[in-house]
Amino acid sequence: MFDAIQIQVEDREWREFSDSPGVYYKTLRKHESGGLTLLLKFAPGARYHAHRHPAGEEYYVLEGALDDLGRSWPAGSYIWHPAGSMHRPGSNAGCVVLVMLPEAIEFTSGQARPSADGA
**Domain count of the fold of the chain:** 1
Residue 60 is part of a domain; what is its CATH number?
2.60.120.10
Does residue 94 fall inside a structural domain? Answer: yes
| List of the chain residues with pLDDT < 50 | 111-115, 117-119
Q: Is 43 in contact with 22 (CB distance < 8 Å)?
A: yes
Handedness of CA 15, 19, 23, 28 (dihedral sign): negative
Q: CB neighbours (10 Å) of residue 108?
A: 13
Q: Domain limits at 69?
A: 38-109
Residue 12 lies in a domain: no
Tens digit of each residue's pLDDT (9 = 90 or more) over 10-37: 989 999 988 889 999 999 988 887 788 9
* pTM (global) more than 0.85: no
Residue 24 in any domain: the answer is: no
